[in-house]
Chain A
Amino acid sequence: MEDKDKKIVSLHLKLMPYLEKYGILLLLVIMILVMHILQPDVFLSWRNVTNVFKQISWQSMLALGVFMVIVTAGIDLSVGSIMMLSLMILAVVAKAGAPWYIVVITPLIAGFLCGLFNGLGITLLRMPHPFIMTLGTLYIFRGTGNLISGGTPISGFTDEVRYLGHGRIDLQWLGLEKSQYLPVSLVLIAVVYIIFWIFLNHSKTGKWIYAIGGNPNAARASGINVNKILVIVYSLCGFLSGIGALILAGRTDSGYPNAGLQSELDAIAACIIGGASFFGGRGTVLGVFAGVMIMGILRNGLNLMDVSSFWQQVLIGSIIVLAVYVDVLRRDLGTRK
């Protein structure tokens, strides 16, 4: 009996690292299979798959930014508001008749500066927790966005401005039909996620971000300028929200006051589902991507099946609790020696 137990435990220990790394992908694959069985004609069709990617495109940018912040054991509640403010600035600049290359770059700069503001506030004003600073800027940025736009939607952008959110890459040269195009936003997600994967896993700064999340005192004692790294992380998070704004501008062709409302919570949820730890230092870029996908597929699949959006809220909430509970169980097993 004991021998058998030992065998099971050692099997668990061998499997654990893989489950930890790829378990969330397993969940994603299972979800895709279930949706495919429930909606065999529609779910995996070219049109629906590209639709899912278009729908998650801007959320995936916010989630990636928030993920980096969560790795440092921080939190950024202002990403939705940063995106809204960047979008409004973009809309105002576009309406003023600026050339497209200026319009395209403004949300990126605006997002970066908002993030810088967060980072400097957290470090220079020595806020007791990033929650407080970014809760403040959640209101500040959204209010500012409404002030500059007058609280009304501003619509109508040029094709160049809309390219990232709305553009299509024609695949007819591959012998595919005209309707089987590649959304530019899908390519953008891939490029941004790969760049940030390299940054977080293969650069010194990325390693230090994880170290700060693991033990800020260790990072400080190693001569790492913790405050500088935190400012970089919050600035990059703002920058990614700015990219989100640019994508959203393309998708909706409009800057509107409710843009990104509560999307900070979606971003946090995607990170948590994807296995990032609120205590910092744990989580992967792949996990965040899976988290974003799981939320996107759930919403898409439930829409296909005509389930009310109220049920979607209940289900997403349940998945968050379940995902974290599985993580708690996993850690229990990992520490039992």
Chain B
Amino acid sequence: MSATTNPLLEAKGITKYFGTITALENVNLKVHAGECLGVVGDNGAGKSTLMKVLSGLYKPSAGSLFFQGKEEILESPRDSQNLGLEMVYQDLALAGNLPIGENIFLGREPTKNLGFLKLLDFNKIKELTNAHLDKLKINVKSADQKVEELSGGQRQAVAIARSTAFNAKVVIMDEPTAALAIKEVGKVLDLINSLKKTGVGVIVISHRMDDIFTVCDRVMALFQGTNFAEANLSSTSRDEVIGWIMGKK
């Protein structure tokens, strides 16, 4: 985490236009291994757009991304996943009609060969899912349960499990606690802390100061699509960060 080591992920001068609207202008961001970066900002400050650029869902109009020191161009979410960059979306991006296991492996399903046919290996999906959920200490009735039958907290846990099932190096979470009951928030924050211990770099976008001050090491604020302020958690305070969100230093 020291400043001398190379950041795991670094974005330089990211600019994004939607038609005539400037969503992001010359934004910089970096995150190190085992570090949690909090990104705060008012609605429309550009947080979600920035995360979608990082995950390859949007292509930046200008600027570049560096992953472990090397410049990368992301054409699709598949490219960022291949680098070990995973995203947990605010709308969770889970298919409610599919079971937990199939959601975790969606798009990357293990297969077995039957003659010339490549068929889905449901046993392996179940086995890997159970092992992974155990590792993260996530409790669900069964990996076969459909996601639409789960509570909000369980869904969030599945979304996080999904993001870390393939040796992720950086996990980006968009409002991970926004829709959760109070007792579920703690579980998700514990999950983030245990991810950090395994050397994963985490970026958390959140409105909730409690979240930021529980799990993050550093916090940066966006204001109207630009970098506004940044500080280590130890050298700032809630009131200061709330001020940043409103555009006051």
Contact = CB atoms under 8 A, between A and B. Distances in A.
Interface of A: 198, 202-204, 207-208, 210-211, 213-215, 217-225, 281-282
B57 interface: yes
A171 B17 CA distance: 70
Interface string B67-100: 0000000001110010000010101111111100
B100 to A, nearest CB: 13
B97 A208 contact: no
B244 to A, nearest CB: 29
Contacts of B108: 222-223
B141 interface: no
A223 B78 CA distance: 5
Contacts, number: 75
Contacts of B103: 218
Given A215-B94, A217-B93, 15 more contacts: A203-B120, A204-B120, A207-B98, A207-B109, A210-B97, A217-B89, A217-B91, A218-B93, A221-B55, A221-B77, A221-B93, A222-B77, A222-B93, A223-B78, A223-B108
B80 to A, nearest CB: 9
Nearest to A216: B95
Contacts of A210: 95, 97-98
B111 interface: yes
Nearest to B94: A218
Contacts of A207: 98, 102, 106, 109, 120
Contact of B95 (A203, A215, A223, A225): A215
Interface in B1-58: 55, 57
Main SS at interface, chain B: loop
Main SS at interface, chain A: helix
Nearest to B88: A221
B119 A211 contact: no
Contacts of A224: 106-107
A162 B224 CA distance: 69
A215 to B, nearest CB: 4
Nearest to B86: A221
25 contacts: A202-B120, A203-B117, A203-B119, A204-B109, A204-B111, A204-B118, A207-B120, A208-B106, A210-B95, A210-B97, A211-B98, A213-B97, A215-B93, A215-B94, A218-B92, A218-B103, A218-B106, A220-B57, A221-B55, A222-B77, A222-B108, A223-B77, A223-B107, A223-B108, A224-B107
Given A202-B119, A203-B118, A219 B106 contact: yes
Interface in B109-155: 109, 111, 117-120
A-B residue pairs, 9 tightest by C-beta: A214-B95, A223-B78, A222-B107, A214-B97, A281-B97, A221-B93, A218-B93, A222-B106, A215-B95
Nearest to B112: A202
Best-buried of A214, A218, A221, A281 by chain B (most CB within 10 Å): A221
A208 B98 CA distance: 10
Contact of B107 (A202, A208, A215): A208
Contacts of B98: 207, 210-211, 214, 281
A215 B117 CA distance: 27
Contact of B76 (A208, A211, A214, A223): A223
Given A204-B109, A207-B109, A220 B119 contact: no
